[in-house]
Structure 1
Amino acid sequence: MRPIAYLRATDAANAVEAVSTDPTSDFLAGGTTEVDLLRQEVLNPRRLVDINDLPLTGIEGTPEGGLRIGALARMSDVAAAPVVRERFPMLAQVLESGASAQLRNMASMGGNLLQRVRCSYFRDAESPCNKREPGTGCSAIKGFSRGHAVLGTSEHCIATHPSDVAVALVALDARVRTLGPKGERTYAVDDFFLVPGDSPHREHPMEHGELITGIEVPATPVARRSLYLKVRDRASYEFALVSVAAALSVADGTIADVRMALGGVATKPWRARRAEDFLVGAATDPDGFRMAARVEMADARPTPLNAFKVELAQRAIVRALRTLSDGPGAGPAPRPGTGSPS
């Protein structure tokens, strides 16, 4: 690894100025993904600006029932916070399934949202990759694509977004707060992640030097009964083949409210709006759950190697909804297993 200059920031404004005025500088937080990419020479900044001393670690509930999380709050601290476990069970579950305990103790919430894709062609620094070098092509489309996306893809990229916690935040209509050269901004989290389209190298709308300062989750009563179901090749530290973040409210056997997002199947955390629209006002019926799942996955564009994800995603959606609808009427839903859904 070549030499890299290092600067330890003392406040957010100084950190933003240091990075925004130097196109060869990047922020450094937990570094659990970034350092790997530096070693692999996929990322090549000339200077890292360490932001770990900034006062952005808070985790607090709002009087309205929402949640504020500092961008530098560690994943393990957020998962353990009583206000998170009480108000947003899916968020605690997603954080505990998202990495090993060692990584959760280091990884920051803001950094998790910005982690780069796990596509091996992106990470080998040799294969053509439009994310790494725009215009060179996508090796995954005709290569080994078992773990790649079936939704939100384009002819330029089929890489799956890797974050677990982003899936829950999309389901919860969270907002991402930033500080940049032009001042403070707030992004709806579903707009914060971009599909590849013709510009797969752009994964979010932030400009260079813009710093995530916090995440806001609005009061979401339905989220008190929620879960995160993650289907993966092994139950230990592993990325999702398919995941579902779901929350459900039922009144007199009818679905009053539902929130759902998918991971492991799309180029961004995927809000399952078609399924939500289908389910609201419907009975809690397994056949209805299966139809909603089919509606959501209707536009999937699989490769021969990842076509199994279409049915797997449908089964995972059904299992998540059945788990929530079959449980007690109040309180958090029981944590689902991590094996293949039935």
Structure 2
Amino acid sequence: MNTLLRPLQRAATALLMILAMQSTAQAAGNDAISSHSATVNGVTLHYLQAGKGGESPIVLLHGYAETSHMWRPLMLQLADRHVVIAPDLRGAGSSSKPEGGYDKKTLAQDIHALVKSLSYPKVKIVGHDIGLMVAYAYAAQYPDEVESIVLMDAFLPGVGDWTKVWLLRDLWHFHFYGETPLKLVDGRERTYFEHFWNDFAADRTHSISEADRQFYAAEYAKPGGMRAGFEYFKNFEQDAKDFAGFAQTKLQMPMLVLSGEKAGGQFLIDQGRLVATNVEGVIIKGSGHWLMEEAPDQTIPALVKFLDK
């Protein structure tokens, strides 16, 4: 009997050691990412920060139905060579939620003021979804202060034939704001967001994790969170006017465009080539809109490779 038990005991001991190592690594990763806030451009922005090194700092901008939290896995991959900053946009997460200022030009000015408060003269900038619109507005307004830019799965209002995207199946939520929509989603934030997390994914069972769904629903349920989120879409018409003007001067810095095969596909890559001269486009195979969660094995290496150049 002892002869049979010893291999089982050794296997159990080995498993416990592996679990302990994973727990330690996860704890170390969490400790490596610190939480901060800064009052800039008339708002208080919460942001996550990690890393060190002499390479240009990297700014990561989240999209709708998420917060800076989405970038945690990527931050740890970049932190050995870069300072990495992941803010909650005005209106999201733990950042303040004023009545106005949700056009992407102003949101970019918030982020620029944050970067300047941290004394960084030049950055690399990455944006997903609404965040890509802010990233583009940042690069268009401060081109000499952006070393490179990444746009991840959504679209640029006002650029090319953008209304084909704007007027498709998601027309309802682009215009879903005001008193009645706010009453409809009050206390039902997760039900509302399930539409995005499920229907924008290639496979709803391989999208945003359960833990993250709970986290994001609670973040947007904070006072003013849903109203502020709706403002991102309410400002698309102003964004279109601003971006049409920005596009008259093409960006010169390197641009990487990542787009989900089952979501934006080629469309965002084509838009990128309308606004920039040096564009690398990559379609993430088999992925829907949530590139970081649906296809981390393709998305994170592509980002690290580009940002480490």
TM score, norm. by length of structure 1 = 0.26
Structure with higher helix content: 2
TM-score by structure 2 length? 0.28
